Structure 1
């Protein structure tokens, strides 16, 4: 098995860069992608981001949560350091939990055009209530469109006990 060539990685500029610029405002253009070396196979890639932070758009108080991103790539995949910087850019972004999770999914669809993707936010309670938005997408006209419908209809049928936050 051979590694990736410099030509294959020419658009991946953040990985290994010691002079990383941390942006504190929503910055979708930081997302970088690279070619999927296994486009003939369906497989999941999952990111668990336990330190996601955004701001309440009304009070400007910080909201904390875990963001789970699972996707089945097509031709492109998201580079993990760029994803980290992208998620970090929500730090001073004011949006409701539901909006933030949908924005993340929309931006990832835009840069990768995956076969399937789901994004799930599990936010720590504020005011005695937690909010856990979930969204997904399957490429239109494919088996992944039906997969998205099925997973949405069966999502969180057996929710966990909320005692670990």
Structure 2
């Protein structure tokens, strides 16, 4: 995964091809025009679907991705196609959230990122996994350390 200039983005304006299984290779990044600023980027993805790796039954969630970019940012159509690629992928809720976060870290190398999954109840239980990362040795690492234990006090963001 490498940084691309806007004219090198492959997915915008072209025919959409949906991958049938987990496809991190569809993720694309572009240059942040304001890397000197700390600012928050939020994606709300209310149609996430994956499969239970044991039963094969579908799991549905709203995924929240929040990050503070550095030099690169994720292109939104590629993110949509990437998240769609989980549709036929078997993974537990917690795995999905950590995989998404790690793939986005590899793509963008953000200053800070957090990924939350609000999975719909199955069998009467909802699962809301949360994963975050702050760049080591920076104030963003301290932000990650501060937000992780306090996430249980956040109201649900449905």
TM-score normalised over the length of structure 1: 0.90
Give yes or no for contact 1:74–1:113 (8 Å, CA) kept in 2: yes
1:14 aligns with 2:11: yes
Which residue in the other structure is 1:143 paired with? Answer: 139
1:85-122, Cα deviation, whole Å (9 max, x unpaired): 00000000000000000000000000000000000000
Q: List alignment gaps of at least 5 residues for structure 1.
A: 1-6
The CA distance in 1 between the partners of 2:25 and 2:5, in whole Å, is 20
Give 1:20 shift.
Answer: 1.3
Give 1:11 shift.
Answer: 2.9
Q: List alignment gaps of at least 5 residues for structure 2.
A: none
The CA distance in 1 between the partners of 2:7 and 2:65, in whole Å, is 25
Give 1:9 shift.
Answer: 1.2
Give 1:150 shift.
Answer: 0.3
Q: Please say which structure displays the higher CA radius of gyration.
A: 1
RMSD: 1.5
TM-score normalised over the length of structure 2: 0.94
1:110 aligns with 2:106: yes
The CA distance in 1 between the partners of 2:89 and 2:156, in whole Å, is 29
Taking the TM superposition and a 5 Å limit, the aligned residue runs for 1:82-97 are: 82-97=78-93
1:57-91, Cα deviation, whole Å (9 max, x unpaired): 00000000100000000000000000000000000
- Whose helix fraction is larger, Structure 1's or Structure 2's? 2
Which residue in the other structure is 1:133 paired with? Answer: 129
Give yes or no for contact 1:118–1:135 (8 Å, CA) kept in 2: yes
Aligned length: 155
